Amino acid sequence: MLVFLKKPFTLFFGCLAMNLALAATALASTSNDSHGETISQGVDSKHILVSQAQDWVAESRQLQKSMVEVAPSDRRLIIPLCKTAFEFNYPFAASQKTLRAVCPPSGWQIFLGISVHQSDNALRYTGDFKAGHQLIATDVELVSLSSAIAGLASDLRAIEGFSLASAVRAGDLVMQRQLVTPVEGYRLNRAVGAGEIVESSSIDSILIATATLSAGQTVTLEQLNGARAARDLAAGKVLSSYDIKQRHQVLVTQSGIPRGQAVTRANIALQDYYGKLPKDSLQNYSSAEQMQAIRNLAAGSMLRLSDLTPIDIIRKGDNVQLSVRAGALEITVTMLALENARLEQRVLLLNPESGEEIQAIATAVGQARGLSTVAR
């Protein structure tokens, strides 16, 4: 009986041993796979960390990523997988050679050594652009050159706000001479007929490259205020000084002014005038004070400096009130004018009582001030 059952027991234990061996083999295989996966994740995490560190340094210091090198860490160090992007900062204010990386969700951090490979930097256009194009940051990219080239632009931040003086092609290096500062100009958003006032609602402000401008190309808002179109102007027209008749206020005669007559507010007035002004036109009342006509002026004439001459505010034979300072006191004496005088002009006066002649300065009609003080 026992002899009969020996083979089944032997077979059972043999199978059991084989299963245990297979289980051990499978467990070892699973352990090895898990260890390999951990190593793989560590390698991937390290690559992610290094790449993000290079990106951060390159962006913060306006460099190419390829110029930034992260010092290798201990190969035995396993970088945990961070669920978000790492955050970076320079832990030491006096140095940018050490970078701190922090994984926000876990708070895990590491210090990395950073070095930058210095080279000659330059900017390269990323597309084809016409003359007058206003540059933005994405229009150029930073590149490294093996040798220096004079006149190249190399600062990404410095090109924004500049316009192109000439057309460029994608891949061209950015030269300083191509960059010009744009000026403000104005473009019509609707057609304006000749003689029509150019309203503020009819214009849009634009930036124009100075290199594309001709003389008189731009106008200011002050020049456009109340201006009239010099001719029919189409929508989209960039306004120049030749397209408008600027509004000015000038003095004109209200009535005819004969030669030798004084100009007063009774016979002149301010009126609107459109177009180019004569250089000697008078544009305020004060400029015509104490003036007289040197020729007959018709009513409605623009008043010009060449039409006028200063009036004599003191005439020969007039009584003149002469003011003279005596220390802290001011003495006024009635004198006799021996000659004509204009404003702020010297005039010779006579003291009728003493017969003394005195030089004075005409200050107003019938008034003068002494050139020297009177002794006490």
Residue, of 259 and 44, whose pLDDT is higher: 259
pLDDT band at 94 (very low <50, low <70, confident <90, very high): confident
Delineate the domains of the chain, giving CATH numbers in brackets: 34-116 (no CATH), 120-180 (3.90.1210.10), 184-244 (3.90.1210), 247-309 (3.90.1210.10), 312-370 (2.30.30.760)
Report how far apart the first and last C-alpha atoms of the chain are (Å, whole number): 165
| pLDDT at 228 exceeding the cut of 90 | yes
Torsion of CA 90, 95, 98, 100, to 10 degrees: -10
Helix, strand or coil, per DSSP, at residue 94: coil
Question: Of 201, 203, 274, which is closest to residue 244 (Cα–Cα)?
Answer: 274
* CB-based contact 162:153 (threshold 8 Å): no
Average pLDDT, integer, range 344-368: 91
pLDDT given for residue 194 in this prediction: 94
The distance between the two most distant Cα atoms of the chain, rounded to a whole number of Å, is: 177
Bridge-based pairing state of the strands 203-209 and 87-89:
unpaired
Helix, strand or coil, per DSSP, at residue 344: coil
pLDDT given for residue 290 in this prediction: 83
pLDDT digits (tens, 9 = 90+) for 274-328: 988 899 999 999 888 888 999 999 999 999 999 998 888 899 999 999 998 877 8
Average pLDDT, integer, range 13-33: 38
